[in-house]
């Protein structure tokens, strides 16, 4: 299972070739992907700030192509442990935990904090070249 952090969608809108390639794989049914409900919040907020455009179309595309993962007591507990244990900021820990909780093995991001998480079998791919 593949997971997308908020930064993946920002890079997709910017035309990042790797993000575009991964999205194409998703649309063509080659991979399955999930996104945290918190990414939807962050994308809407970026739209309100004017950082990204066409937010409604993006959110509609996400809901059609991805499974949206909602926070659970288990993912909240995991996020608290991630944030406390390795120092990942709270929002990042919540997103990461929600993706890990549903079994993501590959997570696309632009957030350097997510690289702080390391576990065999889990690949964090930073689209800005830090992977």
Domains plus CATH for the chain? Answer: 2-126 (3.40.50.1010)
Please give the pLDDT value at position 130. Answer: 45
Helix boundaries (H) for the chain: 6-14, 17-27, 37-49, 55-65, 73-86, 90-101
Give the integer Cα–Cα distance in Å for 126 and 88.
Answer: 15
The tokens of 90 are what? 């709270």
Output the pTM of the full model: 0.94
Return the C-alpha torsion angle 75, 13, 122, 72, nearest 10.
Answer: 10
Q: Which residues contact 70 (CB under 8 A, 6 or more apart)?
A: 37, 98
Q: Which of 8-12, 45-49, 113-117 has the lowest mean pLDDT?
A: 113-117
Percent of the chain with pLDDT over 90: 95
The pLDDT of 48-58, averaged and rounded, is 94
The tokens of 24 are what? 């194409």
Render pLDDT for 77-86 as a digit per residue (tens, 0 to 9): 999 999 999 9
């Amino acid at each position: 299972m593949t997971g997308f952090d908020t930064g993946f969608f920002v890079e997709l809108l910017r035309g990042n070739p790797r993000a575009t390639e991964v999205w194409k794989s998703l649309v063509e049914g080659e991979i399955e992907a999930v996104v945290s409900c918190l990414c939807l919040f962050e994308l809407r907020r970026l739209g309100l700030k004017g950082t990204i455009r066409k937010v409604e179309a993006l959110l509609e595309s996400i809901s059609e192509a991805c499974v949206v993962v909602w926070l659970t007591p288990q993912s909240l507990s995991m996020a608290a442990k991630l944030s406390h244990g390795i120092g990942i900021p709270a929002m990042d820990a919540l997103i990461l935990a929600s993706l890990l909780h549903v079994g993501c093995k590959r997570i696309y991001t632009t957030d350097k904090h997510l690289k702080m998480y390391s576990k065999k079998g889990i690949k964090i791919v930073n689209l800005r070249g830090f992977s």
